Amino acid sequence: MSLLFRSEFCAALAPGRIELTRLADGLRRRVEAWRRADLSPAAGKADCWRFVLDALASMLQGDVAVRGRLKVVLSSHWVRFQVIPWNPEIASPAEFAAYARACFERVYGDAAADWEIRFDEARSGDGRMACAIERELLDSIGRVTREAGCRLTGVQPYLMHAFNPLALPLGRRNFVFVLAEPGRVTLAAGDRGGWTSVRNCTATVDEGGLQALIERELELICGDGQPEVIVHAPRIVANDFACVDELGWKLVPAAGTNDYAMAWGTGAP
């Protein structure tokens, strides 16, 4: 087998941007910056995933070196989130799947019928994080990667890609994890090992706007104690997010350079 097929790639997709990194095999596995594309869509297409997938197809098919296993990370622009509350009457995985879909339909109406819904595991009594992605988007990602000769290993929301390396250190603490992208902020709160709330909203992501948004969220969710605030905002970090130290919040950097922050995920807190 060619060594190229042992490479693992991560393609991070966001409006106006694709980041492609490679995890190379060897005595020491290492993540390598591979390629980044800053896209200039026509008017009205800035948030359209179809435009980005067309660009990804061109990127993958135009380089024979990009072959092997490929994971796709999706911007929160194209993912809906909910914390599905614990329901003691749910008795099976199939019943929970129907329950989760009903929760999305209650908020989004008939549009949810065309979404693929996935959720994490949780202990009895805890809320479960669920995400919904357009089925057409998932099918298109599968088609593009298949036609490029890659093997798709999974599609993951940026929120989970960034949070998962921090899950064990955070443990059962009371926290709010803030993920800031250009034009969008996702705030996910957890306590005692379970999820309690999630908000995914459009926002002006500069230092002042992000601080105000986080402070409003804290006012809404604060209960018995002030949660620990964990912020991953690589585009703002580059310009110095000065208020973090003053407010006692913790800034989590990208695992690599900010130019590939979405594909790299988070580094040590």
Displacement of CA 159 from its chain's centroid (Å):
3
According to CATH, the topology of domain 162-264 is Nucleotidyltransferase; domain 5 (3.30.420)
Lowest model confidence (mean pLDDT) among 153-157, 224-228, 231-235: 224-228
For tokens 């310009």, the residue is 239
Q: What is the CATH number of domain 3-77+134-158?
A: 3.30.420.40
The sign of the CA dihedral 80, 86, 90, 91 is positive
Question: How far is it, in rounded angstroms, from Cα 129 to Cα 194?
Answer: 9
Fold match flag (3-77+134-158 vs 162-264): yes
Question: How far is it, in rounded angstroms, from Cα 2 to Cα 90?
Answer: 48
Phi, psi (deg, nearest 5) at residue 24: -90, 140
136 has pLDDT over 50:
yes
238 has pLDDT over 80:
no
Question: Count of residues for the chain?
Answer: 269
Asked if 73 contacts 156 with a C-beta cutoff of 8 angstroms, the reply is yes
Displacement of CA 230 from its chain's centroid (Å):
15
Q: Residue 70: its pLDDT value, please?
A: 92
Q: Are strands 250-251 and 184-191 parallel, antiparallel or unpaired?
A: unpaired
Strands (E), 85-223: 115-119, 128-134, 150-157, 175-181, 184-191, 194-202
Q: Residue 245: its pLDDT value, please?
A: 73
Residue boundaries of the structural domains of the chain: 3-77+134-158, 80-132, 162-264
Question: How far is it, in rounded angstroms, from Cα 127 to Cα 160?
Answer: 16
Question: How far is it, in rounded angstroms, from Cα 69 to Cα 23?
Answer: 10
| CA distance readout (Å), 211 to 93, 221, 241, 243, 246 | 39, 16, 9, 8, 11
188-219 residue pLDDT tens:
999 888 899 999 998 877 767 888 888 888 88
Q: pTM for this structure?
A: 0.90
For tokens 């800053």, the residue is 38
98's CB contacts (< 8 A; 6+ apart) are none
149-183 residue pLDDT tens:
889 999 999 999 999 999 988 888 999 999 999 88
Q: What are 216-219's contacts with CB under 8 Å, separation 24+?
A: 217/176, 217/187, 217/189, 218/176
Q: Residue 255: its pLDDT value, please?
A: 87
- Residue 9 burial by CB count (10 A; 0-12/13-18/19+): exposed, middle or buried? buried
| CA distance readout (Å), 84 to 51, 87, 122, 125, 176 | 32, 9, 10, 11, 17
Displacement of CA 158 from its chain's centroid (Å):
1
71 has pLDDT over 90:
yes
